[in-house]
Amino acid sequence: MAVAQHLPTVSAPSAAPVRKITSEDLSISLRDGWQDFMAMRGDLIFIGLLYPLVGLVAATVTLGGTLLPLFFPIAAGISLLGPIVAIGFYELARRREDGLESDWSHFFDVRKRPSADGLGVVAALLVTIFMLWVAAAAILYVALWGMNAPDSIGAFLTRLFTTPEGWALIVAGNLIGLGFAALVLAVSVVSLPMLVDCEVDASTAVATSVAAFGQNSGLMMRWGMIVAVLLVLGSIPAFIGLAVVLPWLGYATWHLYTRLVDRAAFPHCAD
């Protein structure tokens, strides 16, 4: 896909040159991502189903034991790991852009990319952020509700929606979750596709991602809201819709990356 060359370029220290984008770039990224999905969906549906499986496992584990209060944080927090699952889709989008064969057999070819080690570093960082989010949710629950777990789902929901401490948990949990989501977006929106695309280290990729987020903070928050809405819709019912939403967002994020980073001015991205 062609990169919009008319956009102004700004630089960030220790980062690749990044661009200011417009709302049109978000729409184009979603459109191009959908075109990629339509072109390659037959081979990728089973890979997209891996993400719903993770969600169902989380639901089974948390609803079946004393971790019931953490079901919502875990289910919502799984989206923090979405960029890791999407790495293979970045690779397929890159290959399709270059006119290379891009069926499902190339999904794990990211292992052969020059910056594969950097991908592992950023993935580990995202897993750490996810674990910190779950820990923060647990601390918040104990601070507001105490150590006792609810007796049933019904008892939990009743207390959640009919008591002051329940609404405090909802409001505070969502605000904290928003902070974690913004952090993941800033760290990963450019870094992971860039590591698939370019021969760079993790620090350069993350610095570029943070720079791109900073230069386009309003639009990046809008992108985050779009992602969140699509993930919620894809989670109903039983996470099955994520088999479509996750590949689509993976491809769309690749195209957003190509519009955020001036790859032509960054020699490390030359194949």
251, 93 Cβ separation under 8 angstroms: yes
- pLDDT tens per residue, range 55-97: 666 665 555 556 677 777 877 777 788 888 889 899 998 888 8
Note the pTM of the prediction, 2 decimals.
0.82
Residue 237 pLDDT: 66
Q: Which residues, in sequence order, are bridge partners of residue 9?
A: 19
Query: How many other CB atoms sit within 10 Å of the CB of residue 35?
Result: 16
- Of residues 61, 62, 64, 66, the one with CA closest to residue 150: 66
pLDDT per position in the chain (271 positions), as tens? 444 444 444 444 467 889 999 999 999 999 999 999 988 865 555 556 566 666 666 665 555 556 677 777 877 777 788 888 889 899 998 888 887 877 777 777 788 888 889 999 999 999 999 999 989 998 999 898 887 777 777 888 888 888 999 899 999 999 998 999 999 999 999 999 999 998 899 999 999 999 999 999 999 999 999 998 888 787 776 667 777 888 899 999 999 999 999 888 777 675 5
Residue-level pLDDT at 10:
42
Q: CA-CA distance, 23 to 18, in Å (whole number)?
A: 16
Task: Tell me what pLDDT residue 49 has.
Answer: 59
Confidence (pLDDT) at 55: 62
Q: Say what angle helices 164-188 and 217-234 make with each other, to 10 degrees.
A: 120
